[in-house]
Structure 1
Amino acid sequence: MPLAYCILDVFTERPYTGNPLAVVLDADELQTAQMQAIAREFNLSETVFLQSPRAEQALARARIFTPAKELPFAGHPTVGAACLLSLIGKAPQGEDVSFVIEQGVGPVPVRVRRAPDRAAYAELTAAQLPEFASEVPDDAVIARILGIDVANLGSNGERVRAVSCGVPFVLVPVRTPEVLAGIDLDVASWRRALAGAWAQALYVYTRGYEGELRARMFAPAMGIAEDPATGSAAAALAGALASDSPIVDGRLHWVIHQGVEMGRPSQLHISAERAGAAVTAVRVGGFAVRIAEGTLTV
């Protein structure tokens, strides 16, 4: 059975940077085990399989797999799939259009803006508002996992916490970009502290010297040693930062640079809305560019 697929670089406008994504089209006939095997074969951080929607309001259903497991939600597959559907004419056409992609976490609204060249920009609204866990490993354990001095944890008064906007992450603030660049993940320490925990993946972030956020993501349980750009983690971070904000009503926006240490620079635009001191929406956006297409033999 031949199936068409495309490769995109997501959270970038420049080919061969950002986070690579495989998108398999018209995947209705594939079984779960086949999708997992194909994701292992592509061996990218995530592969998304587009199927006919089950929800009436959705344009497509997306099933998302890392090399090791299926995810209920992920940001770079959502942004990449939305851009691709627009680029190949399988989404409403126009300079600024909105539609819904069905995922395991529920319906995920997306908004796509087309660029004049082969890139497109998509923004997702997280289906789940920020959820916080009550317990995380102590600072000494987190520092040991990351191979850094415990004194380098913390930034702007923020501490380690576990947050989810569909996929849980341990959010770890560190003091400087130099600390971020010096991380040396100890997988054995990770396994002892986080394997089987509610939040197992680590999203480590800091403030850059020009006001931007810098981040790295490590997810051994997902089969991802390090990810160049992680939309679901960025959504969790947006939710956490917005929850901290003294702003009662309004929109907050940040830019995250990720993948720099991997040679895959990526840029993620995150935002959140607050009303009456509550976080009411979390969004993640970025560009995607198509770099390859082909036929998969199943």
Structure 2
Amino acid sequence: MTPEALRTRPFHQVDVFSDRPYLGNPLAVVVDAEGLSSQTMQHFANWTNLSETTFLLPPTDPRADYKVRIFTGSEEFPFAGHPTLGSAHAWLEAGGAPKQDGVVVQECGAGLVRIKHDGGRLAFAAPPLTRSGSVDEATLAQLSAGLRLPEAALLDASWLVNGPQWIGVLLESAEQVLAVDPDLAAMGDLKVGIVGPHSPDADVDFEIRTFIPGDAMVEDPVTGSFNAGVAQWLIGSGRAPRKYVAAQGTVLGRAGRIHVEADGEDIWVGGDSVTCIQGAVLL
């Protein structure tokens, strides 16, 4: 990219899954990314040093309101949860007008994603899992070593792939989730999320943590894609009610809240978002 190609573009930095700034998961959003190459997007995403950066473009599918490309510091994702909510928040804040009342339709690498928009909290329809089912014995042993827990403490472990290659692990309690001190070297390249129920008198139903070995973040503050997969797993197996709230980021000093609700065949994953930085970026 030559200096002559640079121009200012609207830019938002959004905190997702929190209604208070700096307690959720931050997302960088380039609101107008027309003309940017994939190489430039990847370079900028690496520079932001956030878990994800998104780039908004005109849709290529006439049913969509906008198209998004989602990058980590090292790769592009076909879908991710907190980038979906944060991108929709930034698009609406920048004046985007949905074609359908109450619904934003996002085009991404995984296809079209519906986002409920009723003037309040945004929620996306969980995309179908492209891989599910129990992990094999070798993977279970690796999970046990990576989480520093005996295999008997892993009540269940399942693939929950909806873009990212997540594995979900069910533990006995939220306290056990919070106490995990992972051995990331033993975990290898597995992307792992752990979940455990809170006591009935708590103000949230489940505690979530996710680990991404090799990623600069290591532990993600709040993870929409994992929560979308784990919601289908927990509700589908009867381990969770059709409506619940999960907490994530507690160990990191965050207060992420993920609002899940099953409605017919859809499972909606929602959260509040707040813009922390707004201006222009030179790209």
> When the two structures are superposed, what TM-score results if normalisation uses the length of structure 2?
0.88
Task: Tell me the alpha carbon deviations over residues 134-177 of structure 1, each in whole angstroms, 9 at most, x when there is no partner.
Answer: 534454421210123444322xxxx1111123433110111222
The answer to whether the Cα contact below 8 Å between 2:243 and 2:262 also exists between their aligned partners in 1 is yes
Task: Tell me the SS of whatever aligns to 2:118.
Answer: strand
SS at match of 1:233: helix
SS at match of 1:160: strand
Gaps of 5+ in 1: 116-120, 275-279
Tell me if 1:208 matches 2:214.
no
> How far off is 1:227 after superposition?
0.8
2:75 pairs with one of 57, 69, 77: 69
Contact 1:7–1:292 (CA<8 Å) still a contact in 2? yes
Q: Which residue of 2 aligns with 1:109?
A: 114
Q: Say if 2:57 is the partner of 1:51.
A: yes
Alpha-carbon distance in 2 for matches of 1:238, 1:273: 12
Deviations along 1:101-156, one digit per CA (max 9) or x if unpaired, are 100000001112324xxxxx2111133256414534454421210123444322xx
Q: Decide whether the 8 Å contact of 1:126 with 1:166 is kept in 2.
A: no
Partner of residue 153, structure 2: 152
Cα separation, 1, equivalents of 2:263 and 2:74: 34
Matched, 1:177 2:177: no
1:25 corresponds in structure 2 to 31
1:4 aligns with 2:10: yes
Aligned residue in 2 for 1:237: 230
Deviations 1:75-117 (A, max 9, x none): 10111111222222212499x72120100000001112324xx
1:293 corresponds to which of 275, 278, 281: 278
- Cα deviation for residue 31 of structure 1 reads 1.0
Aligned position for 1:118:
none
For 2:215 and 2:230, the matched residues in 1 are separated by 19
| Equivalent position amino acid for 2:272 in 1 | F
Residue in 2 that maps onto 1:277: none
Distance 1:98 1:40, change over 3 A: same
Q: Show structure 2 runs of 5+ residues with no match.
A: 1-5
The answer as to whether partners of 2:197 and 2:207 remain within 8 angstroms in 1 is yes
Match of 2:213 among 212, 216, 220: 220
Greater shift in the superposed pair: 282-291 or 82-91: 82-91
The count of residues paired between Structure 1 and Structure 2 equals 273
Tell me the percent identity.
Answer: 32
Deviations 1:210-269 (A, max 9, x none): 26110001112554311111111001001111221399xxx8122110001101110011
Q: Specify the code of the residue in structure 1 equivalent to 2:103.
A: S
SS of corresponding position for 2:177: helix
RMSD over aligned Cα, in angstroms? Answer: 2.3
Letter of the 2:94 partner, please give it. I
TM-score (norm 1): 0.84
Residue 117 of structure 2 aligns to a residue whose secondary structure is strand
